[in-house]
Amino acid sequence: MIDGRARKAKQEQEGRAWQAWTTAALYRSKKFPKLKDIMPSDKPKRPQKMLPEQIEEVVRSWLSGRRNR
The one-digit pLDDT tens for each residue of the chain (69 residues) are: 678 889 999 999 999 999 999 899 888 888 888 888 877 777 777 888 999 999 999 999 989 876 655
Segments forming the whole domain that contains residue 2: 1-37
- Quote the number of domains for the chain: 1
**How far, in Å, are 23, 50, 59 from residue 28 at the CA level?**
9, 40, 48
Residue 44 within any structural domain of the chain: no
Q: Is residue 51 part of a domain?
A: no
In a domain, 63, yes or no: no
Quote the pTM value.
0.45
Instruction: Give a yes or no: residue 23 inside a domain.
Output: yes
Is 5 inside a domain boundary? yes
The Cα–Cα gap between 37 and 39 comes to: 6
